[in-house]
Amino acid sequence: METGTAEHHRLGPLSDVEVLRIRNDFPILDQEVNGQPLVYLDSGATSQNPFSVMEAEQEYYEQRNSAVHRGAHTLAVAATDVFEDARSTVAAFIGADDNELVWTQNATAGLNLIAYSFGNASIGKVSEHAKKFALAAGDEVLVTEMEHHANLIPWQELCRRTGATLRFIPIHDDGTLDMDAAAELIGAKTKVLAFTHVSNVTGVINPVAELVALAHAVGAIVVLDACQSAPHLPLDVKALDVDFAVFSGHKMLAPTGIGGVYGRAALLDAMPPFLTGGSMITTVTMEEAGYLPAPQRFEAGTQPISQAAALAAACNYLSETGMDRIHAWEAELGQRLVRGLEGIEGIRVLGPPAGIPRAGLAAFEVEGVHAHDVGQFLDAAGIAVRVGHHCAQPLHRRLGLNSSTRASTYLYNTTAEVDAFLAAVAGVRAYFGVEGASL
């Protein structure tokens, strides 16, 4: 699937001039924080929304608000059309078919959906098709040492419930995945391999094709956490050959409360449901129920209709800008961040050094200054960054830290903003009176 047009490929990366025009679509960026122009470098946590996304959600409530798949009146039909048209748009954005996209609250909910469905296949009476997802003692679930907690704890719980063993692929000191270890760990006992496409701490872009090949060679199911890739680089789940993938709308210009699970159609239809109730059934008696095929079998209850419409608008905005161009621009900004941070005394950058491909983010440690103090110092200068363990405690522990400061860029960030951030970071140690820092 091509998310960018031929014209986008010809034009190459975005430029500061184009980004300044893009910024006009994001009203929240045109403000001051603590008396300084806002420099928003926390899109890895939550991105901002353009007018078109906010208007899509408002238009739904003004013109079409009704329950989907539940009524025959005009508004209900219109709402259902909006809902399913949004599914088509978002599915196409990630290279999937319409029936392969399940709406969820966010990526965390999506990962829990997959893990708990596998758990449901491991207990009680299930169909023959569902037995392929069952786990038991002796089976292994494999993750990596760089996972966000959302792609770790659900698998911990699944193993606890089923008796399977959780193992992890370690990382090198530079934050990259140890592929030799991966080749040794992925074996006949491996039933599930779940890993992040892009690390939310180090910016490492994992070798998906190699990992998928290793997993599929032993018949393992592959689950991809695409939270930090779907917003930032062209994503084609079919080309990547993953079995499942998850993403969150609020990281890709959409509102909170909407995300998605991609799953191969045959796998989704074979999986037991996770949440049960209305809208996901065929027939119900007082003794049992029959379930609809995917994606509806995983969409019990009232759905995030307006949010789905807004996520579709966000995907259209990203596609019109060109995902390949966005990725190239953020790669430039990421390298600018790392080069600049490496040039500041007392700064340790987490992940690969400058010159090695990474996403447009950088997490770092300031010698002698706690990450939360760094964040407050930057906030006083109008610069918004993330501080803490970024929901990746094992990764930080492996790197010898409890927390770090992270700057993450998106299509609306300029080189001037990156430079303003670097200039502010250069003054942190002196401000806090760290010994050896130059005033």
In total, the chain counts a number of residues equal to 439
Task: State the Cα–Cα distance between residues 316 and 218, nearest whole angstrom.
Answer: 38
Task: State the Cα–Cα distance between residues 143 and 166, nearest whole angstrom.
Answer: 8
CATH superfamily of 6-50+322-431: Aspartate Aminotransferase, domain 1 (3.90.1150.10)
Please classify residue 14 by burial: count the beta carbons closer than 10 Å to its beta carbon, then call 0-12 exposed, 13-18 middle and 19+ buried: buried
* Assessment of whether the complete model's pTM goes beyond 0.75: yes
**Measuring CA to CA, how many Å separate 340 from each of 303, 336, 362, 419?**
45, 6, 11, 8
Please report the pLDDT score of residue 6 as a whole number: 46
Residue 290 forms beta bridges with which residues? none
Alpha-helix runs per DSSP H in 249-322? 265-270, 305-321
Task: State the Cα–Cα distance between residues 316 and 318, nearest whole angstrom.
Answer: 5
Q: Residue 19: what are its φ and ψ, rounded to 5°?
A: -65, -40
Query: Along the 439 residues of the chain, how does pLDDT read in single tens digits?
Result: 334 444 554 578 899 999 999 999 999 999 999 999 999 999 999 999 999 999 999 999 999 999 998 888 999 999 999 999 999 999 999 999 999 999 999 999 999 999 999 999 998 788 888 889 999 999 999 999 999 999 999 999 999 999 999 999 999 999 999 999 999 999 999 999 999 999 999 999 999 999 999 999 999 999 999 999 999 999 999 999 999 999 999 999 999 999 999 999 999 999 999 999 998 999 999 999 999 999 999 999 999 999 999 999 999 999 999 999 999 999 999 999 999 999 999 999 999 999 999 999 999 999 999 999 999 999 999 999 999 999 999 999 999 999 999 999 999 999 999 999 999 999 999 999 996 665 4
Provide the annotated active-site residues. Answer: 391
For 131-147, b where at least 16 C-beta lie within 10 A, e where not — what string? eebbbeeebbbbbbbbb
Task: State the Cα–Cα distance between residues 61 and 364, nearest whole angstrom.
Answer: 43
Q: SS in 3 state form for 263-313?
A: ECHHHHHHCCCCCCCCCCEEEECCCCEEECCCCHHHCCCCCCHHHHHHHHH
CA neighbours within 13 Å on the CB side: how many for 388? 9
Tokens for 3, please give them.
């998310």
User: To which H or E segment does residue 191 belong?
Assistant: strand 190-196
Task: State the Cα–Cα distance between residues 353 and 399, nearest whole angstrom.
Answer: 15
Q: How many CB atoms lie within 10 A of CB 163?
A: 12
Tokens for 159, please give them.
């193993």
> Euclidean distance between the first and final Cα of the chain, in Å?
52
CATH 3.40.640.10 for the 54-319 domain, yes or no: yes
Parts of the chain belonging to CATH 3.40.640.10: 54-319
Parts of the chain belonging to CATH 3.90.1150.10: 6-50+322-431
| β-pair type (165-169, 140-144) | parallel
Please report the pLDDT score of residue 2 as a whole number: 39
